Homo-oligomer: A and B are copies of this chain.
Amino acid sequence: MSTLFQNVTAILMDADRTVLQNAFVAVKGGKISSVGPQRPTGSYDRVIDGQGGILMPGLVNCHTHTAMTPMRGYGDGHDLHSWLNDYIFPVEARWDDRAIRAAADLGLMEMIASGTTCIADMYTRMNIMGQAVADGGISANLCNGAIFFGQEFSPAGCGDCQKQEELFEAWHGYDDGRIRMDAALHAEYTSTPALWEWIAGFARQKGVGMHVHISETRKEHEECKDRWGKTPIQVLNDHGVFDVRAIAAHCVWTEPGDWAIMAGKGISAVHNPCSNLKLGSGVAPITGLLKAGVNVALGTDGVSSNNDTDMFEEMKLAAILQNGVLQDPLALAAWDALEMATVNGARALGRNTGCIAPGKDADLILLDPEAPNLVPCHNACNNIAYAAHGSNVKLNMCRGRVIYENGEFLTIDREKTLREVREYAIPLLFGK
């Protein structure tokens, strides 16, 4: 299958910040084959006229919990303790595979329709999520955040260690690497040094990445310092957890000493501004992280703390939040936010995507040039960072395959998914 996009405004996300007007972008198989101002030679199975609309790399959501969709808005307005204990945990105890699949498909629909082509997902029953991603067509780094509270750790006695192995065997490398698994710790405060060292060794041995919640709340950060005399980044680093490609979700309370470690070891920070604001966690020190040389990517977190997964919304909030809190209109630029949502995300997940260049995965989204909120377009990057919505996405292509176009899902059965969520998952989980 080959596709030629023509008459598009292509934001390449290259180091020169190139925005190419009237561009041609060719795709052969799963890769971008050419980019330029001239029509490439050869014939294509399909030619897509963008009518001047923006073509950009698909968005990379580096921290989410896709299958939490049934809990969207459930228990909002309660404090964290009540929300978890009275709402989320009782529901999560009722999951079965069929409900997880329906919930995962619903979550993927929302993300695909709003321009996401690659995710890092941490949740439960990831074997089912793997099948949903396989069928849905996007790329994903899947992980199961390991938790262990016991005194006597042994890998055989830790169910979450087994799950790392199972996820690796089941899905790592699927479809030429479209699905990968990352090793994962849920967080420092939900695990012990024995687990840290086991999982660090697992990741090194398997050659996979690492995904951990880091310093999301002040309480978690300060209690870790009380416990170990070190921050979460520091203590986990001392135990080898970050000796592989690693992503640290949230980083709201990280300190300059952490940033130096993160920059030095290549640990990516994943900024989740909507979730951090909604839950009262605070505002992550993104300008500090960037100045220290840390790779900063973006995530939506799950829909029970966001409550949607529109990465355009996340990009805008990332772009404007630092300005407001630092009282500096130039604290972050539109380009910074675009990088977080594309190239930086690709780097965080170890993927060959996030920019438009020959040889890159053909993960591309095309936006509607006639949407009132995108008119006029003095500067495509400003329009994307500050004015665009997920609903402006007309077409989503993952690895050369169109999976969403003009409101239609081409890999997921919309009606069946909504029916399964409403008639099976909701009654199972909520008894209604």
Measured CB to CB, the residues of A under 8 A from B are 69-70, 72-74, 76-77, 79-80, 106, 109-110, 113-114, 218, 274, 276-283, 303, 306-310, 313, 316-317, 319-321, 323-331, 333-334, 370, 372-373, 375-379, 382-383, 386-391, 414, 418, 421-422, 426, 430
Contacts and interface: CB of A to CB of B under 8 A. Distances in A.
Contacts of A110: 372-373
Contacts of A414: 370
A324 B373 contact: no
B320 A421 contact: no
For the complex formed by this chain, how many copies does it contain in all?
A: 2
A72 B280 contact: no
B281 A376 contact: no
A176 to B, nearest CB: 28
15 contacts: A72-B383, A76-B382, A77-B334, A77-B382, A276-B324, A278-B319, A278-B324, A303-B387, A308-B373, A308-B386, A308-B388, A308-B389, A313-B389, A375-B421, A376-B422
A307 to B, nearest CB: 4
Given A278-B320, A387-B308, A375 B334 contact: no
A64 to B, nearest CB: 13
Given A280-B328, A378-B73, A389-B390, A372 B109 contact: yes
A109 B371 CA distance: 10
Contacts of A109: 372
Contacts of A77: 330, 333-334, 382
Contact of A376 (B278, B308, B391, B421): B421
A73 B280 contact: no
A372 B106 contact: yes
Most central of A113, A319, A386 by chain B CB within 10 Å:
A386
A324 B277 contact: yes
Nearest to A432: B378
Contacts of A69: 375-376
A76 B378 CA distance: 10
B73 A386 contact: yes
Contacts of A373: 110, 114, 308-310
Most central of A74, A327, A334 by chain B CB within 10 Å:
A327
Contacts of A422: 375-376
A377 B72 CA distance: 8
Contacts of A370: 414, 418
